Structure 1
Amino acid sequence: MKPFKKLFPAVLTFIFALSLTFSGAAAAAASMQWSASQQAAVDRATASDAALRSKLGSLYSRFKDLQSQLQQVDQSISSLHYKNEETQSSLTKQIKVIDADKIARLEQAVKQTKDKYKPILTMYTTLNQQITTANKLKNKQLSSALKTQVDTMKLAVQMAKMDIQNKEQALASAKAQRSSAQKKIRGILAGADSVRIKIKAEKSTATILNKNVSPLWKGVTQAVKVGDAKKIHTDLNTLVNQLLQIQSQKQKILSLENQISGILQNAKSQLPST
């Protein structure tokens, strides 16, 4: 239950952000359309000017297409962003456990090797201590006997120490290689940070542009209401240009998310094969 409680706020935040993106786009698309009565008003306003009616019809179609395209790019951005976040999270976990099994085996090998040679190394140390004591007591006979035992054990002790040293060096080398791999991959991932800063800036610009959409649409509907065909065309053209700017911003954001995706895939390719 506890892990779920920790995860729930993050999930809720994502769902909330996602719902704002989609519901906001859907609401805008639903509200920025001429009703049947408004379409009739536009037809009346352009009844005496077939050329203007045609231009206005094409412009309105462009306007509707742009709304649809903006919804699609919003969905693409959200989908790719979520995928990138999942990949980033997965990579962070995988980086931590690079060569974990290999290092665990080497650590176990070091322990087993030390345990294996502990009796002989302990005995060797004890004999040398006893020699020191015998020398202090000036007991030459005992000292000589102990030295004989030590000399007999020397080769075995050297082999034991070399075996332990080799195992420890193998472990140290594996840990150094892991550190190097982790540093390299984290360095690649760090390249995405500057891209995320750019995304934040582009989103801020898009938000500012979005704030102008509603007032511009209101201007269009007012022009429809008074039946001013030329003003309808002018105001709708301004609104279309605004949506084009927003679309450009959204495409930049999508492109940047794709850059992050590329960085993540590059980092992923550096993971040691298992």
Structure 2
Amino acid sequence: MKPFTKLSILPFMFALALAFSLPADAAASMQWSPSQQTAIERATAADSALRSKLEALYSSFTSLQSQLQQLDQSISTVHYKNEETQSALTKQIKTIDADKIAKLEQAVKAAKDKYKPLLSMYTALNQQISTAGKLKNKQLSSALKAQADTMKIAVQIAKADIQNKEQALSAAKTQKTTSQKKIRTLLGSADPLRTKIKAEKSTATILNKNVSPLWKSVTQSIRVGDAKKINTDLNNLVNQLKQLQVQKQKILALENQIGSILQNAKAQLTS
């Protein structure tokens, strides 16, 4: 009889724990030892068809572990990239148009400082005109009004200049608020996806808890030399890993969707 070579040469490079799948100790032990392989060879000695099925199942088993590990790595990579992008965007949102608004604020201040002497003088002059009127000093009142009239156009220009700069500042602040709200709303659209990820991870955790018991059933079947039971138990284990794979694919897809939302927000922020 030919040795069960496919089982012996299939490598198991999965000693480390997968982030969402197998505990480290379970992953390290989930391979057939030489003695177990010998037991399998004895159990399938009279049934080459069943031996072929076991070979195919074992091949699927090892392949699934590799795929699960790759999925975990991809999920981790995308997740942490999303976290970094989210953090950076949160900080950048606060500084939208910060330089522009700072310049406009400085322009308003500069204009007010520039025109302050003129406006103060004009205010004081009008107060004097009021006082002269109360004193019924027509000559003084007339002279003060003439002086005020000569300043009136300059005062109007000064007030208009200040007002224009204040309006520009107000418009910039409104635009900043609008932009911040728009981007924050876009970022908020990722929150339901994060909630879904939690649900999918919860399901994956439940599925993962069943892996070790299923593997234990496989090893027990090997111990008693029941080839059909080995086939059934290994098939159940493979199906469990396939379900776990589906869950991880869902998680990765959701993380990628979040990534797309973040990149869209980033593009709007820099536009």
| Cα deviation digits, residues 28-55 of structure 1 (max 9, x gap) | 4322111111111111111111111111
Shift in Å at residue 111 of structure 1? Answer: 0.4
TM-score (norm 2): 0.91
**1:113 maps to which residue?**
111
Kindly indicate whether the alpha-carbon contact (under 8 Å) linking 1:25 and 1:71 is maintained by their aligned counterparts in 2. Answer: no
Structure 1: distance between partners of 2:137 and 2:48: 127
Question: CA deviation digits over 1:181-210, x for unaligned, max 9?
Answer: 111111111100010011111111111111
Q: Report the TM-score when normalising by structure 1.
A: 0.90
**The one of 64, 75, 78 aligned to 1:77:** 75
Residue of 185, 189, 192 corresponding to 1:191: 189
| Larger relative helix fraction | 1
User: What residue is the counterpart of 1:145 in the other structure?
Assistant: 143
Deviation at 1:272, TM superposition (A): 3.8
Number of residues of Structure 1 aligned to a counterpart in Structure 2? 255
Q: Say which SS state the counterpart of residue 190 (structure 2) adopts.
A: helix
Distance 1:242 1:145 in 2: 100
Give, as a single letter, the amino acid of the residue that structure 1 aligns with 2:33.
S
CA contact (8 A) 1:121 1:157 kept: yes
Change (3 A) 1:20 1:33: closer
Going from structure 1 to structure 2, the CA distance change for 1:230 and 1:23 (only over 3 Å counts) comes to: closer
Please give the residue correspondences for 1:209-220 in structure 2 after superposition, counting only pairs within 5 Å. Answer: 209-220=207-218
Query: What is the DSSP-based 3-state SS (H/G/I as helix, E as strand, rest coil) of the residue aligned with 1:21?
Result: coil
Deviations 1:200-222 (A, max 9, x none): 11111111111111111100000
Aligned equivalents of 1:266, 1:41: Cα separation in 2: 57
RMSD, matched Cα: 1.5
State whether residues 46 and 229 of structure 1, in contact with CA within 8 Å, keep that contact through their aligned partners in structure 2: yes
Match of 1:247 in 2: 245
CA distance in 1, matches of 2:236, 2:270: 54
Determine the structure 2 residue equivalent to 1:29: 27
Q: Which residue of 2 aligns with 1:174?
A: 172
Q: Which residue of 2 aligns with 1:67?
A: 65
CA distance in 2, matches of 1:37, 1:138: 122
